[in-house]
Amino acid sequence: MRRGASAFRRLAAAVLLLLAPIATAFAADPFARATIDAQGTIYPGQQITVQVDVLVPNFFMSPPQFPLFDLPNAVVTLPDSGALNLNETVDGESFAGIRRSYLVTPQGAGDYVLPPVEITFTYAAVPGQASQGKVTLPPTRFTVTAQPGAEAGDASVTAARVGVEQSLDRDAKAMKAGDSLVRTVTVTADGMQAMMIPEPSFEAPEGVRIYHHDPKLEDQRTPRGEFVAGRRTDIATYVFEKAGSYTLPAVEVQWFDPQSGKSETASAPAVAVTVAEAAAAGTAMAPPAPVEKPQPAWTRIDWRFWLPAAGAGLAALVAAGWLLFSGLPRLLAHLRERRKERENSEPAYFRRFEHSCRGGDRRAAYALLDAWARRCDLGPVAEWLSRHGDADAQHAYAAFEKQIFGGDGGAVPDAGELATSMARVRHSWLAKQRRRGEHVKALPPLNPRWTESSGN
């Protein structure tokens, strides 16, 4: 009996030793944390970085899906600057982590709390086995203080430094009536995204017409992808129809320096323009040409030159006619193929969607948007927007989809908003494709991958 009890105790101890690592693996749970990366007082219009870390025991088997969340009275973006891998030890346990950084720009003073959004992922709770996991963003709080002397709700440009540069395409002192002058103004704001830089005001003196061009927005980053500054370039063309002296007003940008706590002004100086009268056309008449005595027409023709030339021309005409009739079927086939390519191109699909939005047929618009997504092999539109779109575009599509499947018939109130949002996201997505050297396929796939998965 004593020998049996001793053997049983040894067997129980061995089993406990084998189960200890498994119990330890399950004891550690994934978790998330958020950090506000801002020093000192936060002011309206100041861009701050919110670092979100997701940590799991062992290692990830699929990356976390960081959503773009809404924060009332603030603009939130999730730059495509990549993720940072982490390795930490918490209470003696080894954790693997991934960090993403959100850029948040509060638009007014007050208290802000991060919403409890969920972040999903797959990780190895037990080494070698995939487990589905999710964590909730902790309710991290930060406070925004009104700028000294600013009115409630005022969100001006708040940045570490703002600079304004300008250039002209010609000498403003050597203009003539009817000439045009192109003025380029570039605003650079350290620590502020280009999309947050307000549009500068261009004014023209009386008697001068002004035409505005679309702005160019560019975010500057380090070689490692870290955000540095935003740059906005605006171009205006001034047309001077009359002679005289003109002054193009200075272009000013008011901004607030959070380090000094003072309001500053950055400006492009005024431009003095001198316009002279346009040169008058000459009015003097040339002396009349001497009159020659007319000769019979047949005496002025060199038949020795024109007969061979006429023969060569006739032969060329015959050859051209033969080529035309023999190559006409191939030419027509080529034209039909080109027309088919245009009809099946990505821009044509998107134009049909925009035209349907303007017409107010919501079901047709939904079907054409789905056709465009299939044409580009994007997957479901909602998932594509979560990867490439902004919060406005996601909300517009969600509201649109809700009206399709939850409302009654009739016109779509927000179809124009959806078309505008989709056009903006599409433009950004195509620009990324071009930078990566990728192009949209010439023809849509017969079996898109997301259609197959939805049917299983």
Residue 320 lies in a domain: no
Q: Within this chain, do residues 128 and 170 fall inside the same structural domain, yes or no?
A: no
Q: Within this chain, do residues 37 and 108 fall inside the same structural domain, yes or no?
A: yes
More confident residue, 136 or 362: 136
Among 144, 165, 193, give the residue marking a domain's end: 144
Q: How many domains does the chain have?
A: 3
Q: How confident is the model at residue 370 (pLDDT cuts 50, 70, 90)?
A: confident
Average pLDDT over residues 255-264: 85
Q: What does the block give as tokens for 199?
A: 């549009």
Q: Taking a C-beta distance cutoff of 8 angstroms, is the pair 306, 297 a contact?
A: no
pLDDT digits (tens, 9 = 90+) for 80-122: 777 889 999 988 888 999 999 999 999 889 999 999 999 999 9
Residue 260 lies in a domain: yes
pLDDT digits (tens, 9 = 90+) for 402-434: 777 765 444 445 677 888 888 999 988 898 888
Q: Within this chain, do residues 60 and 84 fall inside the same structural domain, yes or no?
A: yes
Average pLDDT of the residues of the chain: 81
* Residue 298: per-residue pLDDT: 54
Distance CA 62, CA 130 (A): 9
Q: Within this chain, do residues 133 and 240 fall inside the same structural domain, yes or no?
A: no
Q: Is 292 helix (H, G, I), strand (E, B) or coil?
A: coil
Q: Within this chain, do residues 233 and 122 fall inside the same structural domain, yes or no?
A: no
Residue 446 lies in a domain: yes
Average pLDDT over residues 261-285: 81
Look at residues 157, 53, 41, 154 and name the one whose alpha carbon lies nearest to residue 102: 53
Distance CA 306, CA 260 (A): 88
Distance CA 14, CA 20 (A): 10
Q: What does the block give as tokens for 367?
A: 């079907």
Among 276, 293, 321, give the residue marking a domain's end: 276
* Residue 290: per-residue pLDDT: 58
Look at residues 230, 162, 215 and name the one whose alpha carbon lies nearest to residue 185: 215
Of 185-189, 274-278, 389-393, the least confident: 389-393
Residue 212 lies in a domain: yes
Q: Within this chain, do residues 83 and 110 fall inside the same structural domain, yes or no?
A: yes
Residue 257 lies in a domain: yes
* Residue 434: per-residue pLDDT: 85
Q: Within this chain, do residues 103 and 179 fall inside the same structural domain, yes or no?
A: no
Average pLDDT over residues 4-31: 54
Q: Within this chain, do residues 169 and 231 fall inside the same structural domain, yes or no?
A: yes
* Residue 386: per-residue pLDDT: 87
Residue 133 lies in a domain: yes
Question: What's the CATH code of the domain at 182?
Answer: 2.60.40
Among 81, 116, 144, give the residue marking a domain's end: 144
Look at residues 42, 47, 155 and name the one whose alpha carbon lies nearest to residue 108: 155
Residue 99 lies in a domain: yes
Q: Taking a C-beta distance cutoff of 8 angstroms, is the pair 68, 391 a contact?
A: yes
Domain around 392:
346-451
Q: Taking a C-beta distance cutoff of 8 angstroms, is the pair 52, 81 a contact?
A: no
Q: Within this chain, do residues 229 and 271 fall inside the same structural domain, yes or no?
A: yes
Q: Within this chain, do residues 140 and 163 fall inside the same structural domain, yes or no?
A: no
Distance CA 275, CA 48 (A): 48
pTM of this prediction?
Answer: 0.50
- Determine which helix (DSSP H) or strand (DSSP E) holds 418, and give its type and residue range: helix 415-435
Q: Within this chain, do residues 62 and 172 fall inside the same structural domain, yes or no?
A: no
Q: What does the block give as tokens for 450?
A: 């997301």
Q: How confident is the model at residue 356 (pLDDT cuts 50, 70, 90)?
A: confident
Q: What does the block give as tokens for 57?
A: 């025991």
Q: Within this chain, do residues 218 and 124 fall inside the same structural domain, yes or no?
A: no
- Determine which helix (DSSP H) or strand (DSSP E) holds 136, and give its type and residue range: strand 129-136
Residue 210 lies in a domain: yes
pLDDT digits (tens, 9 = 90+) for 196-218: 888 888 988 988 999 999 999 98
